Amino acid sequence: MALRRSGRGGFTFRTRAGAALLAAAGFLAAGAAAAPPAAAQQQQPLRAVMNLDLQVLDPIITTSNVTRAFAFLVFDTLIGMDSNGVYRPQMLESWEASEDRLTWTFKLRPGLEWHDGTPVTAEDCVASLRRWGARDGLGSRLMAATRALRVVDDKTFVIELARPFSQVIEAIGKSNAQIPFMMPARLAATDPSRAVPEIIGSGPYTFNRAEWRPGDRAVFRRNSRYRPREEPADGLAGGKRALIERVELISLPDPATRVTALQAGEADYLELVPTDYVALLRRDRNITLVNPPPRAQIFGVVAINHAQPPFNNVLVRRALQQAMDQREIMAGLGLPSDMVHDFCQSIFMCGGTYASEAGTEGLRQTSLERARALLREAGYNNERVVLLHSLDSITLNPISLVVIDRMRRAGFNVDVAASDYSTAAQRRLRRDPVENGGWSVIPVVWNGYDLANPIGHYATAYNCSQNYASWYCDPALTPLLEQFAAENDPARRQAIADEMQRRVHENVNAVFVGQFAIPAAHRANLRGVINVGFPVFWNIERAGATR
C-alpha cells in the first residue's frame, strides 16, 4: 500500500496494483481488445510516454526537456556529440580554423532540405545562430566574442572572432538547452523572446501542428526528404535514420498508467520510469531498462528568484541552502541505492570533467539550526515564500515534498502553489512580487549535459542577464566566465572552474539537492535505441520489421 499526494494537497492510501488497474483502464480501452497480428504490429507507431506534457514548440525560448526531445525529431544541428563526447560534423560537411584560431570556416554538406522542400543555405544557419546566440548563455558569449558572422556562399559561412574564444565547437555542438537547432532564415528572424510561428526543420521527422493535442499527444511522421549521414548513428552524431514511419509523444499524467501501458504494449517507451516501479520493471522480461550514461545523470536543484524579496538577500538564500539535506531529499525519491549518489555538491556533477569539492566545506553537514540562525541574521520576518510545486513530474513531485517540509522546519513561511509543470514553468517566467502572482523558489532537475560546460551551465552562464528565470547576478563571477572562455590550458580551466563553483555556492545562485539516475524503459522488441540520457527516436525499429 502506498501513500500518495492528492490533487487538493491531502493524502490518500491506495494499493499500487489497484492504482495501476484503475488508472490504466481508460487508456487501455482506447487500444484494440485483441492484439494486432505480428505484421500489423511492425507498422504500429512508436508511442513514447514523456515525463512532462509538450507545451512549447520552440527550443530557443525554453529549456524544457520535452521540448528538447521534440526538437531533435524535427530540427537538426550543425555539429553532434558522439557517445564518447567527441564533436562531429552533422549538417556540416567540415569546419576549419585558422592558425590563430580566430577565423572559423564552416561548410554544409550537400542535399540538405527543409521540410517544405527548399534547400538549407548558409544564410539560414547564420540567422539561426544569431537567434540562438541572443538567448543561450554559452551562445551569447560566443556572439560577444565574434567580430563578424558572414555568409561566403550558399553552403559556406565564417565566424571571425574579435578575441580568443576556446569554446567555438563546444558552443555550436552543445547538447544542453538551449541547443542551436537550425531553422529557415525567415523563421530565425523571429524575435528570440517569442515562439516561431511555424515548425519547419530539416530533421528526420516532420510535425503537423494541426494534429497536436496538448495534454494528449504530438504526432511526427518520417521525413522522406531527410538525408542521413553515411556513418552509423553514434550518440547525437552519425546517421539519423528514421526507421519507423510515425512517432507519437504521449501524455499520461498518472505514473501507474504509464507503467501499465508499457507492460501491456500500448506504449513502447517511457522517458523516465516512475521510481516506485523500477524494481517491478527490472523483473519484466518484456521490458528493457536503459540506465543513462554518467554524463546524463540528473541533479535536483532548487532554483531561486533573486529578483524579489526575501531571496534577494544572500543570507536568506544561504538559510535555504542550509535547510536542505541531500540524503533526506534523495531518500524521498525511493530509488534503489545504486541509482543515487550518497552526497554531491559539485555543480558540474560528481564524475564530470570539472567535478571538484571547491567551496563545499560548509555544505557537507547542513543544519536546520544554522538555517534558522541565518534567517534571524537576515531579518526575515515571516514573509510569504511561494514554492512552485509540479505535481505531474515523477522527479519534481517527491523532491518538492521534502523541500517544502525542510523549509517549513527551518522557519520559512511557505505557500505551496501546486500545479502541473507546464503551468509552473509559465509562472516562473514572471518577475512580479508574490502578492502579484510571482514566485520565490521552484524545484527543478538539470541534466548532466546542462552542467558539463562551466560557461554553458544554468547556474553560471546566465550571470547578470535577463535570459534565465532566476535572475542571479554575481559581479565576481563575470570575469571568471570570460577567463574560462579564453583559456585553452586544461589545468588552468580546472582552476577557473573551481573558483566558479566557489562563487556559485557563496552567492547561492541555486541550491543543489542531489545527484541521481532514473532509467528509461522500452519494450524489449525495440532495437537500435540510442542511449544519450534523453529520448531520441532515430535508428529505432521493431525486431522482425522489414525495410
- pLDDT category, 16, cuts 50, 70, 90? very low
The single-letter code of the amino acid at 116 is D
- Looking at 24-38, 180-194, 267-281, 404-418, which range is the least confident one? 24-38
pLDDT of the residue at 40: 53
Domains in the chain: ranges and CATH: 39-58+198-294+520-542 (3.40.190.10), 74-188 (3.90.76.10), 295-516 (3.10.105.10)
Task: Give the amino acid at 376.
Answer: R
- Mind giving me the DSSP string for 117-177? SPBP-HHHHHHHHHHHHTT-HHHHHHHHTEEEEEEEETTEEEEEESS--TTHHHHHT--SS
HEC profile of 278-332? HHHHHCCCCEEEECCCHHHCEEEEEEECCCCCCCCCHHHHHHHHHHCCHHHHHHC
* 347, 354 contact by CB (below 8 A): no
> How much is the pLDDT for 3?
31
Residue bearing cell 533526506: 328
Q: Give the model confidence (pLDDT) of 99-119 as tens digits.
A: 999 999 999 999 999 999 999
What would the pLDDT profile of 372-398 be if each residue is shown by its tens digit?
999 999 999 999 999 999 998 889 999
Q: Which residues pair with 521 in a beta bridge?
A: 270, 289
10 Å Cβ neighbour count for 462? 23
User: Would you state the pLDDT for residue 390?
Assistant: 95
Q: Mean pLDDT score of the chain, rounded to an integer?
A: 90
For the cut 80, the answer to whether the pLDDT of residue 121 exceeds it is yes
Give 3-state DSSP helix, strand, coil % of the chain, rounded to 5.
30, 20, 50
Which pLDDT score is estimated for 196? 96
pLDDT in tens, 40-91: 544 689 999 998 899 899 999 988 889 999 999 999 999 999 988 899 999 9
For 39-101, where are the E strands, in sequence order?
Answer: 46-49, 79-81, 87-89, 92-97
pLDDT surpassing 90 at residue 220: yes
DSSP 109: P
pLDDT, one tens digit per residue, over 428-457 is 999 999 999 999 999 999 988 888 889 889
- Band (338; pLDDT cuts 50, 70, 90): confident
Specify the 3-state DSSP secondary structure of 520: strand
